[in-house]
Chains A and B, each alone.
Chain A
Amino acid sequence: MTTTATAEAAVRESSPGAAARGPRRRTGRIRRIGLPYLLLLPALILELLVHLVPMAIGIVMSFKELTQFYIRDWGTAPWSGLDNYKVSVDFDAPVGEALLHSFLVTVGFTLLSVGLCWLIGTAAAIFMQDTFRGRGLLRALFLVPYALPVYTAVITWVFMFQHDNGLVNHVLHDQLHLTDEPSFWLIGDNSFYALLTVSVWKGWPFAFLIVMAGLQNIPGELYEAAALDGAGVWQRIRRITLPSLRPVNQVLVLVLFLWTFNDFNTPYVLFGKTAPEAADLISVHIYQASFVTWNFGTGSAMSVLLLLFLLAVTGGYLLLTSRGRKAADV
């Protein structure tokens, strides 16, 4: 958002210069006025086709009684007013209760996952700020989980979490004797921790990457001045590095939050179409409500509620952070 603001300021500053360059041919001027729109046209058409129009259709669908009987010709499905929304937020009835449960699981899961990803990524980036032997190799290695396609990474974890032939039970039960019985990881309450482990394993390198990039923008003089004042390495991290990273962190945490909250790929590959109750993330829950129980109207209403929640959180977050405030001023 800040980038947009600075771009606008820069354009304003440069426009007198552009006018002073002298008269241009009329066609040239017309082309230049139309040009930005022409350049934006492909992106605009695609965003409309794939995101905005489907979203509008989705909102319309959420007000319709859209079961499998009407899916061939969804326009003819009868209107149901707010019924789909009422069903979704009636927390005493099964559908609403399950949605609320899934929502709470997702919130808890997202907060834990984002927190751990941020913590591990930041610590790794700060520890690897100075050069030491093997740093380049380690940095490449740390990026491997991020570079692996989601499904291959998650399938490997599925194999490791297998009850009879998985590594996790072999280590915890056979080798370390920490559990009396081999545990089930992909069903029951443990599934929450299995999902969290995979999500953190896959997600922390992104935080690492962004924080590493952020560290390169901290001027070296700050550290030199601190060293002259006799600050130790821990003090420098606390007084210079972490405060300087704040603007980067604000964007990083928001992006991680949105990605984790909306993540479908990880739970879907880990558990399949129906996730265990303890790890029933909202994306898979809505998918299940729509495509497995064939009630697309209710599924759409749930999606709209999810979007409203994300909008509220993002809006609130942007208002609370300085970056957002700056963008709102312009």
Chain B
Amino acid sequence: MAPPRSFLWSRRIFLTLLTGFVLVPVYVMVSSSLKPLADVSGKFRWLPSGLTLRPYIDIWSTIPLARYFVNSLIVAGAATVCSVVIAVFSAYAVSRYDFRGKRTFTVTVLSTQMFPGILFLLPLFLLYVNIGNATGIALFGSRGGLILTYLTFSLPFSIWMLIGYFDSVPRDLDEAALVDGCGPLGALFRIVVPAAVPGIVAVAVYAFMTAWGEVLFASVMTNDATRTLAVGLQGYSTLNNVYWNQIMAASLVVSVPVVAGFLLLQRYLVAGLTAGAVK
């Protein structure tokens, strides 16, 4: 049965408006990154007066963009890997075992999602400084401290989602593996993990995006050598000039890998959410 005209027209109008809303900033980012400085300093123009790739060359020398990029990659990459591995272990324990304190654990971990970041920013900063003074392990100002912080940000959501996902993997499968002589970890890695790949990919995407986009802790806990993109990009505004074309070019360079990765994996994300979080 074909939908009525009222539905088709509402759909057309709504989706067209929404597409415009979504696309305008994307267009501004792309077009401005190809404009000469005069074009972005004067009145806004929809079409550039002349196309130039100059901003894409200059972004690397105006600020140490490459260093920030590497820092962000290391921090977000390491936080993602650690967060996923730890979440897999925790979710497996909660999904497959009955033990004392299970509810307390899940409720506590989930409720940390609710904490305003600002509440533990300063205490965490002081804690890292104290640990550094006491043990010599440099957490404050180092990439390690930031990795440690970020991986806990995505952990609650990851654990929660993977519990749901592991629950949907039939228990008979890994119990059969246990009977066949697999250890519990063997059953986890040979049966449960392969069956839950979409959920694990979804969780990894989420963890990477969380770490790649975080601003508050990055601005307090980094120094010149360990600064990430989130803080570093502010360097394009100088007292004399704001290099908007370079800012847009750098933003695009920074965004393309994340957006491309996300769009490639989005099918997994919907599948993961369906099985894990939405049930």
Show the binding face of A for B, using Cβ within 8 Å: 1-4, 6-8, 10-12, 14-15, 17-18, 21, 32-33, 35-37, 39-40, 42-44, 46-47, 49-55, 57-58, 61, 71, 74, 120, 123-124, 127-128, 130, 138-153, 155-157, 159-160, 164-167, 169-170, 174, 201, 209-210, 212-214, 216-217, 227, 232-234, 248, 251, 258, 261-262, 264-265, 268-269, 282-283, 286-287, 290-291, 296, 299-300, 303-304, 306-307, 310-311, 314, 330
Other CB < 8 Å A-B pairs besides A7-B95, A39-B92, A152-B252, 10 of them? A50-B124, A50-B148, A52-B108, A55-B120, A149-B212, A149-B230, A167-B28, A174-B43, A283-B117, A307-B116
- When the two chains form their complex, are residues A46 and B115 in contact, meaning their CB atoms are under 8 A apart? no
Show the binding face of B for A, using Cβ within 8 Å: 1, 3-4, 6-7, 10-11, 14-15, 18-19, 21-26, 28-29, 32, 40-44, 86-87, 89-90, 92-99, 102-103, 105-110, 112-124, 126-127, 148-149, 151-152, 155, 159-160, 163-164, 167, 171, 175, 179, 184, 209, 212-216, 219-220, 229-230, 233, 244, 247-248, 251-252, 254-255, 258-259, 262-263, 266, 269-270, 273-274, 277-279
- When the two chains form their complex, are residues A51 and B152 in contact, meaning their CB atoms are under 8 A apart? yes
- When the two chains form their complex, are residues B14 and A124 in contact, meaning their CB atoms are under 8 A apart? yes
**Chain B residues in 8 Å Cβ range of A209:** 269-270, 273
CB distance from B9 to the nearest CB of A (A): 11
- Chain B contact residues: over half helix, strand or loop, or mixed? helix
CB distance from A222 to the nearest CB of B (A): 15
Complex Cα gap A215–B279 (Å): 11
- When the two chains form their complex, are residues A213 and B277 in contact, meaning their CB atoms are under 8 A apart? yes
**Chain B residues in 8 Å Cβ range of A18:** 175
Complex Cα gap A181–B29 (Å): 25
- When the two chains form their complex, are residues A165 and B7 in contact, meaning their CB atoms are under 8 A apart? no
Give the residue name and chain of the B residue nearest to A145 (CB): B22
**Chain B residues in 8 Å Cβ range of A3:** 160, 163-164, 167, 279
